[in-house]
Copies of this chain bind each other. A is one copy, B any other.
Amino acid sequence: MGELTGRQEMILGLVVHEFVRTAVPVGSRTLVEKYGLNVSPATVRNEMARLEELGYLTHPHTSAGRMPTDLGYRYFVERLLQETELPLAERRTIAHQFQQIRQEVEEWMPLAASVLARTTRSAALVTAPRAARARYRHLQLISTQGRLVLLVLVLQGGLVKQQMLTLPEPLPQPVLSEVADRLNQLCAGLTAEEIEAHIPTLPLFEADIAQLAVGMMHRADLSTADEVYHDGLTELLQEPEFTEGGQAQSVLRVLEERSFLEAVLADTLGPTIGSVRVVIGGEGRFDELQACSLILSRYGVAGLATGALGVLGPTRMGYGRAISAVRFVAGLLSELVHDVFVAGSEPLPSATGRSSP
């Protein structure tokens, strides 16, 4: 990415800004008039031509204004966008909402999605936090009538898995609880492999149960994202680039084809917490996202449990605001996860004043 002169940068920035606002290719005259530049449209045209040569702008057709290319957005995001934060008032209300549902584990993800969608006016995606390697925390066996038993396995980080099993003969609840307790003492904090090592030493019935739990943990390890919470799809599809045919579906595919989302996450997000990644226009690898940009970040506690969250919008999106919002919400969620895992007992420091690395 070559260097641009100050004026070229300014013009690129203005084109991005104006195009994001209006969704209409912007011409030289409009730019000069709207932003009170003290050069003539002709000069701007020359610079625009140069920017186009370098690949930062395009033309839909000869007599139309300019619009940024994906490369143009990239330059904008990486060099022109000064790091910014959401306004304090907004941070306050958001932090307050999270404070409200601090105890309600199930509300975390939906709230994060809703907040992201609302503040960025785009679609938001949030995956639940998961341990890199599932670790056993607690198991319980709940007898239904008959020989049918519900096995509830709680993994470290609060992820709950359920499975049913049929006993060869009915057992009373106290016996089941006792079995569960013994396993709990033995297995707390272990990974699937570590538990497997113990199995041969266990009495028959307990070994069976442990084997089931191991299976559930393995399955949990395999899938990267169990549930994807989303919000704001309707707002996204109101954007002009999606109101026409085909485009809407490709966006939905991201949601419904889990494998696709997993690929994107794996490709663009390492295990690093805190940094925000920006994927513009699919970056050649994801055709379905040609018209979209993704702002992604990982949240959670490194090495213990992490999830991902992000904003999906048209390439023509407000990157500054979106990046700040993603970073801020990721920070809040990380704090919540931190509580469940590392668990300080002191009251949380106010989240409002925080910002990321």
Q: Report which A residues bind B (CB closer than 8 A).
A: 102-106, 137-138, 140, 142, 144-148, 150, 152, 154, 158, 160-166, 170, 177, 181, 230-234, 237-238, 242-246, 248-249, 252-253, 255-256, 339-345
Contact = CB atoms under 8 A, between A and B. Distances in A.
Contact of A237 (B163, B238, B248): B248
Given A237-B248, A243-B245, A256-B233, A164 B339 contact: yes
Contacts of A170: 345
Given A140-B154, A243-B244, 12 more contacts: A105-B162, A105-B164, A137-B142, A140-B140, A144-B343, A148-B339, A148-B340, A148-B343, A152-B154, A152-B160, A177-B181, A234-B252
A349 to B, nearest CB: 15
Q: Is the interface of A mostly helix, strand, loop or mixed?
A: mixed
B140 A103 contact: no
A184 to B, nearest CB: 8
Contacts of A177: 181
17 contacts: A103-B163, A105-B150, A105-B162, A106-B162, A137-B142, A140-B154, A142-B154, A148-B344, A150-B154, A150-B158, A164-B339, A170-B345, A233-B252, A234-B249, A234-B252, A243-B245, A243-B248
A246 B243 CA distance: 7
A340 to B, nearest CB: 6
A106 B161 contact: yes
Contact of A163 (B105, B150, B341): B105
A158 B166 contact: no
Given A103-B163, A339-B164, A249 B256 contact: no
Given A146-B343, A148-B340, A160-B152, A256 B231 contact: yes
Contacts of A233: 252, 255-256
Given A233-B256, A234-B252, A340 B150 contact: yes
Nearest to A138: B142
Nearest to A230: B256
Contacts of A144: 340-341, 343
A210 B256 CA distance: 39
A94 B177 CA distance: 36
Nearest to A165: B103
B158 A160 contact: no
A245 B105 CA distance: 38
Interface centre among A146, A152, A248, by most chain B C-beta atoms within 10 angstroms, is A248
A164 B144 CA distance: 27
A245 B164 CA distance: 46
A45 B253 CA distance: 43
